[in-house]
Amino acid sequence: MNYIGRSLKRLEDRPLLLGAGAFAADGRWPDQIYMRVVRSPVAFGKILGIETAEATRLDGVVAVWTIQDVDDLPPIDFRQMRAEGLVPYRQWILARDYVRYVGEPVAVVFATDPYVAEDAADLVFCDIEELEANLDATAKPSLFMPDSYPGLLSEPAVIRRSYGDMDAAFGQAHRVVELEVKIGRHTGVPLETRGALGVLDADSGVLTIYGAAKVPHYNRDAISRMLGLDPGKLQLSEGHVGGGFGIRGELYPEDVLVCAAALRLRRPVKWIEDRKEHLLAANHSRDQAYHLLAAVDPHGFILGLKAELFTDQGAYVRTHGTTVTDLSAGMLPGPYVIPAYSVEGHIRLTNKTPAGTYRAPGRYESTFARERLIEKIAAELELSSIDVRRINLVPEDAMPFDRGVETLGTHIVYDSGKYHDLLERLLVHLDYDRLREEIAARRAGGEMVGLGIAYFVEKSGLGPDDLVRMSLDKSGAVEIVTGVASIGQGVETVLAQICSETLDIPIERITVVHGQTDRIECGRGAFASRVTVMAGSAVKIASEALRDRAVAVAADLLQAAPDQLCLVDGAVTVRQGGASIRLGDIAGQLEQTDGLKSEGWFRADHMTYPYGIHFAQVKVDPLTCGISIERYLVAYDVGRAVNPMLVQGQIAGGVAQGIGGALLEEFVYDEQGQPLATSLADYLMPTCREVPDVEVLLREDAPSPLNPLGVKGAGEGGITGVGAALASAIDAALQQPGAVDRLPITPDRLHRILHRKRGSS
């Protein structure tokens, strides 16, 4: 029976549906105390003093810490990459000398009751000399911390990438097309806020942190280094997780503080943030501005592209380092040939919440900029934007296509793709010419309706390696232990299906253990759409090794040559004679030795590159400045879909988040750097009313040659093209090419566009 390619129900869902989920907030331990964070009330200022005496006297308060109490701990280091120039810009776990954003931790309170902890936090007084906040990442860099780091400016790094003959490209240009666009500041807002529970076992000296997510092994090693612990004395345990989206890939100050407190106070310490804290202090993202210059020929072919972009990194450089800008610079050319390319990506610090990664970091932003450029080229040359895309797409016979630049330390080589084919399939699926006629007729009748598309290339399967261990017991049940993490994407189901395909046993007889640092010594976690590519390939290798071992043992027991045996329904069977032995019985035979076990390592030095197209049909109401999405479709080539239903779910969820960033969600600040969106009444998120049914045209036309499954990642393609597709559709509805140059397209911005069209002020 084939298990790969089937939409099997998720193994993960049963405990969640029965209300048996175990989230960070569910943890309860005897003698537990609660941590509450005191946060800066100003965006930028010099700390003159933190007064804690009144809070300390409150009944039930165990301790109150400021930076003086944890002065021996270093700032939080980088995960993805390390550059010496970034080192001064790291964040301390409590503010030292200066505060740099509203919400920065300046003190922590520990109490026997969460309400007492909150009351005590209110009694801590922060004496801060307020300074002028820097809120514009495109302005001239300012001083980072004037006294602590004299002369250090707020531009930690500039990412530069280039290839091709730019002078020749612009020298022979028929026209130079210029574009400036901006993507607003928003982020992932998971159902579950951040939280952690630290428990020290006094007998063993082992500290266990419950509530880990995404990268437990990295966080174990990083926290161990900061606290001076042997990594074997720190364990991270992942429970159920209410959403990841990049935001949980961070090592935050609160995580380290919980660990330090559990060690020093010798009691279980619990911290759960509220929603306001989450909107204030968890990673923000996006917030980029682009300036593009394209040299084009008369047919719209891009001969050369010059780009300058600015990333508002917020107050500090957190663990992701330069990742977002690096990905923006590397992935900006997308699916198009572009023979010459140069980019400068400026990372700028401001007095806003630090920024990190959010689902499709750097690609949501760069896709918006690139696809807006395609539309502007088409408008200026009076061409069809479809035809402009056709002439620029990388041809199939150029695959694998060397992009000529690097990102995340790997050379970008598109492993496989049929870009023209997917575009034509989309147009046929939509009956595009007929649809355009219908839209034109509706516009002639007075409706503001329009169509838009956006083409993108994603990256997935970031290495360098993944390990899984597999064992089969005498009951015939399989356990897979992996170092990846689950953040809701269906890890257990997908890995079980890959194992089932090789061993021919139902996925219900397979248990997947993940996110437990005490069960496997290494692991890369879940980020960069890597789990199915990396861990899935490792599971396939381990499954084949276990199968081969079982066949070798069965060959002796059945007195048959190994090549005469096969696996059928969890048993090794002789192809001709019909004799068989169950895998569980083989495991029983090996019980006195090392059992029926295997391990699989998969290593990769290149990523895989799925690709797709977003299509949107919208209607604009000029009276309310509301935007209704009438139809939304994503065409996506995933290489090979292990579970098509899960891929479709990932795409639909990504579209919903993309709509939020395109139409609703934005962190805004006043002139003093005070955040104005710190509740869900002000930070607007899409509901089922704003999100349409998402159609998915799932393709498997270009399997990856870089892994044994042929798979590519599916976690981020659903969000990547949303802002660009909606912008094009709104332009078409308004009959104003290039009208949308900024996200989100809020009603007030749409109102200004409409009045600009009418010649009003």
Q: Residue 761: pLDDT band by 50, 70, 90 thresholds?
A: very low
Q: Which residues pair with 637 in a beta bridge?
A: 611, 699
What are the tens digits of pLDDT across the range 253-267? 999 999 999 999 999
Mean pLDDT, the chain, as a whole number?
96
Q: Which two tokens stand for residue 481?
A: 């232990």
Please, are residues 583 and 594 in contact by the beta-carbon 8 Å criterion? no
Per-residue pLDDT, averaged over 401-419, amounts to 96
CA distance 699 to 547: 30
Neighbours of 274 (CB within 10 A): 11
Q: Which amino acid is at 20?
A: A
What are the tens digits of pLDDT across the range 106-141? 999 999 999 999 999 999 999 999 999 999 999 999
Tokens 């869902």 locate to 13
| Chain CA centroid to CA 394, Å | 26
Q: What is the pLDDT of residue 294?
A: 98
What are the tens digits of pLDDT across the range 430-448? 999 999 999 999 999 999 9
Minimal CA–CA distance to 305: which of 293, 290, 319?
293
- Bin 151: left if φ > 0, else alpha if -120 < ψ < 50, else beta: left
| Chain CA centroid to CA 315, Å | 20
Q: What is the pLDDT of residue 183?
A: 98
Q: Which residues fall within 8 angstroms of residue 22, CB to CB, at 6 or more apart?
A: 15, 239, 240
Q: Which amino acid is at 211?
A: G
CA distance 748 to 626: 10
Tell me the percentage of the chain whose pLDDT exceeds 70: 99
- pLDDT of residue 424 exceeding 50, the answer is yes
Question: What SS3 class is residue 703?
Answer: coil
Q: What is the pLDDT of residue 83?
A: 72
Q: Which two tokens stand for residue 129?
A: 């000399």
Q: What are the CB-based long-range contacts (under 8 Å, 24+) for 120-123? A: 120/36, 120/55, 120/56, 120/58, 120/60, 120/61, 120/64, 121/36, 121/37, 121/38, 121/55, 123/54, 123/55, 123/58
- pLDDT of residue 758 exceeding 80, the answer is no
What are the tens digits of pLDDT across the range 373-386? 999 999 999 999 99
Per-residue pLDDT, averaged over 552-561, amounts to 94
Question: What SS3 class is residue 327?
Answer: helix
What is the separation, in whole angstroms, between the first and last Cα of the chain?
Answer: 67
Q: What is the pLDDT of residue 80?
A: 67
What are the tens digits of pLDDT across the range 135-191? 999 999 999 999 999 999 999 999 999 999 999 999 999 999 999 999 999 999 999
* Orientation angle between helical segments 644-659 and 722-734, nearest 10 degrees: 60
Q: Which two tokens stand for residue 422?
A: 């997917």
Element holding 385 (H helix, E strand): helix 385-392
CA distance 253 to 101: 14
Residue 751: C-alpha distances to residues 734, 740, 748 (Å): 11, 12, 5
What are the DSSP calls for 208-264, one per residue? EEES--S-HHHHHHHHHHHHT--GGGEEEE----S--TTGGGS--HHHHHHHHHHHH
CA distance 743 to 310: 15
Q: Which amino acid is at 534?
A: M
- pLDDT of residue 81 exceeding 80, the answer is no
DSSP 70: G
Element holding 121 (H helix, E strand): helix 114-123
CB hemisphere CA count around 80 (13 angstroms):
24
Q: What is the pLDDT of residue 290?
A: 98
Tell me the percentage of the chain whose pLDDT exceeds 90: 95
Q: What is the pLDDT of residue 261?
A: 98
Q: Residue 505: pLDDT band by 50, 70, 90 thresholds?
A: very high
Per-residue pLDDT, averaged over 649-657, amounts to 97
Q: What is the pLDDT of residue 757?
A: 61
Q: What is the pLDDT of residue 213?
A: 78
Per-residue pLDDT, averaged over 607-635, amounts to 97
What are the tens digits of pLDDT across the range 12-50? 999 999 999 999 999 999 999 999 999 999 999 999 999
Question: What SS3 class is residue 99?
Answer: strand
- pLDDT of residue 220 exceeding 60, the answer is yes
Q: Which residues fall within 8 angstroms of residue 357, CB to CB, at 6 or more apart?
A: 246, 247, 249, 283, 285, 320, 323, 324, 527
What are the tens digits of pLDDT across the range 281-312? 999 999 999 999 999 999 999 999 999 999 99
Q: What is the pLDDT of residue 578?
A: 80
Minimal CA–CA distance to 314: which of 267, 286, 352?
352
- pLDDT of residue 694 exceeding 80, the answer is yes
Strand order in the sheet with 571-574: 565-568, 571-574, 580-582
Please, are residues 361 and 188 in contact by the beta-carbon 8 Å criterion? no
Question: What SS3 class is residue 299?
Answer: coil
